[in-house]
Amino acid sequence: MARHGVNRLWHTVIGRGALMLILGVAALIWPEEVLIAAMMSVGVTASLLGLYELRVASHIILAPSGRRLALVHGATATIFGVLTVIGPRLALRLALGLIAGWLMMYATWVLAVVLLLQPRSAARHGLLLWATFDVAIAAICLFYRQATIFTLLYFGAAYAALFGAWQILLGVSLRRAGKRDPESVDRPALVGHV
């Protein structure tokens, strides 16, 4: 049961990442033709797969801390999707504030994963860099007063592409962790193998 759940989880994470990467890059390359449709597609996909990830994570046999991390990741992915869909419809300052809040929430999740990793691992350094990136972008969302809706949409496309690449790396790490040590699914460190 646990191994099957981890296999479903990494497939979901990689699939979501690949789609976000493709749509985010397409929106940046062909903004006039693709931007709005791509961002709506990213939002709906992230929401649905985040909900699916929540379901899978709730059925995986993990230690309590690993289960919490997996559930929080599913929730943050779902919230990311909702914000991507509704963000352009909100007042700009409200949308930027909500996005900054999400970025801080995701940075907190990343830092929780960092605590599970070995102190000198490359993954730990990469995650610290990602958390720092999220915090910096949150600060820009809150304090850059010249932002427009187009800034928000282009930023959203770039972040979706980067977030997609991040999700692919996370999914590959989950897959490797499950192959390397099938019993690791019972330990909280599984989620930390990113």
Give pLDDT tens digits along the chain (194 positions).
445 555 667 887 798 889 989 999 998 998 888 888 888 888 898 899 889 878 877 877 666 777 788 888 889 989 988 988 888 888 989 989 999 999 999 999 889 888 877 777 777 888 899 899 999 999 998 998 888 888 888 888 898 899 889 889 878 887 877 676 555 444 433 343 33
Q: Where are the domains of the chain?
A: 2-90+148-192
169-to-27, 55, 103 alpha-carbon distances in Å? 21, 21, 19
Task: Choose among 66, 148, 75, 149: nearest CA to 113.
Answer: 66
Single pTM value for the model: 0.75
Q: For every residue of the chain, which 3-state class applies, written as one string?
A: CHHHHHHHHHHHHHHHHHHHHHHHHHHHHCHHHHHHHHHHHHHHHHHHHHHHHHHHHHHCCCCHHHHHHHHHHHHHHHHHHHHHHHHHHCCHHHHHHHHHHHHHHHHHHHHHHHCCCCCCCHHHHHHHHHHHHHHHHHHHHHHCCCCCHHHHHHHHHHHHHHHHHHHHHHHHHHHHHHHHCHHHHHCCHHHHCC
